[in-house]
Amino acid sequence: QTAGIGDAGRAPVSCGFARACFRGETVSDDRIAAVMEKLGWHDNDRFFCIVLRERKLDRKFSAIARVAIAVTAHDDSRQHCFFDGRALIVCDLSAGAHTRDEVIADVLRNVRDLGTIVSFSSSFFGFGNLAHFYRQALVVERVGRIEDVSSEAYRFEDYAVDYLIARCEEGSTLML
């Protein structure tokens, strides 16, 4: 299941674009540029990803949808979409008025006591790297849940070494 980046009132990114990015398919520079223009973002901006999922996999999207919409509703530097049972929030730190730590604090306030798991990627430059950093957040969650199953939030910086080891074991290209 995939929905366009943005809420119903401002969904400038097509489902096809989101699906292609998250599945690691090649997306043309022209298509990326068009999406960036619609969002008012720039490729040399600094971004990071937030991935939300329900703690119990049999639950519906309700909690993660509420969080994603609450965190992105009034800030054009944050966009969300739903993909593969998760919500992804992409934050353009260069376009926004908040630091990464402030955005994380905002998300954590919204997820408290909802039975939601959230993971945060490191920051990155270049929207074309979105798929990699989406996967980074997924690996951070997987590794973090092994080390601290009771936690509801996993930050890249807390699991950087474990992330590197996991990616090497997978034979993946590393990008920080």
Residue 127: pLDDT above 50?
A: yes
Tokens 């934050």 locate to: 91
Query: Which pLDDT does position 4 carry in this prediction?
Result: 45
Distance of CA 140 to the CA centre of its chain: 12
Residue 171: pLDDT above 80?
A: no
For 103, the token pair is 């955005």
Question: First vs last Cα of the chain: how many Å apart?
Answer: 28
22-80 pLDDT, tens digit per residue, is 776 777 888 878 888 888 888 889 999 999 998 776 556 688 888 998 899 888 899 88
**DSSP assignment letter at 91:** E
- Count Cα atoms within 13 angstroms, Cβ side, for 16: 4
Query: Which pLDDT does position 76 carry in this prediction?
Result: 87
For 37, the token pair is 């223009």
C-alpha–C-alpha distance, residues 49 and 123, integer Å: 8
For 39, the token pair is 């969002």
* Residue of 43, 41, 108, 114 whose CA lies nearest to 78: 41
Nearby residues of 80 by Cβ (< 8 Å), 6 or more positions away: 5, 6, 7, 68, 69, 71, 72, 87, 88, 89, 90
Lowest-confidence pick of 23-27, 47-51, 115-119, 126-130: 23-27
